[in-house]
């Protein structure tokens, strides 16, 4: 990594370490500006790129910190930047959470098949698995139009939002239902922006999982250095260090193999099995 990425990693890691998990994301937005990493400077962002997003995501995954990085700063912000839809970007860069209502119940995240549709300025449909969908300050909806797929800004108060139970409690999901909700078109064509947003979100999610896996590895190594067995830490006797456990003598020796063509095997005098003199039971 470059010195700038290392400095960003160390700053984020130190802030997460000294901050309660529920308060980490607002502080990261205010002190580091992580909510605006993918937003150009002309829209109030940092003007960074995917490497910076991945560095922050890895540190968030390492500590399993609840954050709106994936749904707001990566997915929604990238879609708006790719679509050149600037009105909402300054608010996202300032720390407001944005959600992108996109996929249906099948969870395909297809850029050309969003779950909602737009008719005469009104939006209809139900979007599932919306990241931060039940609590987001800003709501962007991908919807079918007569000319293709477009992005719309919708007031969250004009929708029905329900929290969806998720396996990962640090990543809230929501279901957003629109029944004739008014929407303001942000771009006439949004499918290309959705393709770009999905690619970025996949990479950021993978970086977050790398951080979680690295933390598991570190804790496992630390445990193996402390846990003792047979008077030594279990991490000490490893095959790579050339250590071998001494062989133990079993109660009964192995049966020797007879050489080919030599008949029955012969036991050494010191290891020949003894025959019992007790009479067999009746």
Average pLDDT of span 248-274: 54
Percent helix, strand, coil in the chain, to 5, is 40, 20, 40
Within 10 angstroms of residue 240's Cβ, the number of other Cβ atoms is: 5
Average pLDDT of span 218-245: 70
> What band does 243 get if pLDDT is binned at 50, 70 and 90?
very low
The model's pLDDT over 20-65, given as tens digits with 9 standing for 90+, comes to 999 999 999 999 999 999 999 999 999 999 999 999 999 999 999 9
- Model pTM score: 0.79
CATH topology for 3-217 is Butyryl-CoA Dehydrogenase, subunit A; domain 2 (2.40.110)
Higher pLDDT, 254 or 193: 193
Q: CB under 8 Å to 280, separation ≥6 — which residues?
A: none
- Domain-wise residue ranges, the chain: 3-217
Could you tell me where the beta strands, DSSP code E, fall in 146-199?
Answer: 148-154, 160-164, 173-187
């Amino acid at each position: 990594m470059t010195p700038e990425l290392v400095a960003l990693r160390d700053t984020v890691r130190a802030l997460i370490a000294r901050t309660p998990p529920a308060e980490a994301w607002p502080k990261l937005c205010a002190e580091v500006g992580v909510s605006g990493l993918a937003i150009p400077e002309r829209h109030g962002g940092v003007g960074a790129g995917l490497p910076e997003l991945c560095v922050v995501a890895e540190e968030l995954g390492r500590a399993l910190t609840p954050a709106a990085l994936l749904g707001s700063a990566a997915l929604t912000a990238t879609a708006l930047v790719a679509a050149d839809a600037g009105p909402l970007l300054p608010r996202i860069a300032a720390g407001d959470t944005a959600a992108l209502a996109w996929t249906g119940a099948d969870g395909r995240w297809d850029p050309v098949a969003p779950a909602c549709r737009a008719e005469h300025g009104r939006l209809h449909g139900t979007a599932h698995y919306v990241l931060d969908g039940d609590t987001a300050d800003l709501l962007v909806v991908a919807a079918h139009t007569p000319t293709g797929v477009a992005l719309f800004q919708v007031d969250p108060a004009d929708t029905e939002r329900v929290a969806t139970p998720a396996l990962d409690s640090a990543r809230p999901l929501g279901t957003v239902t629109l029944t004739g909700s008014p929407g303001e078109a942000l771009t006439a064509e949004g499918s290309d922006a959705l393709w770009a947003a999905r690619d970025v979100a996949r990479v950021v999610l993978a970086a977050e999982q790398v951080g979680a896996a690295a933390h598991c590895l570190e804790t496992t190594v630390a445990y193996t250095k402390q846990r003792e067995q047979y008077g030594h830490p279990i991490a000490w006797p490893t095959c790579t260090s050339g250590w071998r456990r001494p062989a133990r003598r079993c109660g009964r020796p192995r049966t020797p193999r007879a050489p080919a063509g030599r008949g029955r095997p012969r036991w050494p005098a010191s290891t020949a099995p003894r025959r019992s003199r007790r009479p067999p039971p009746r």
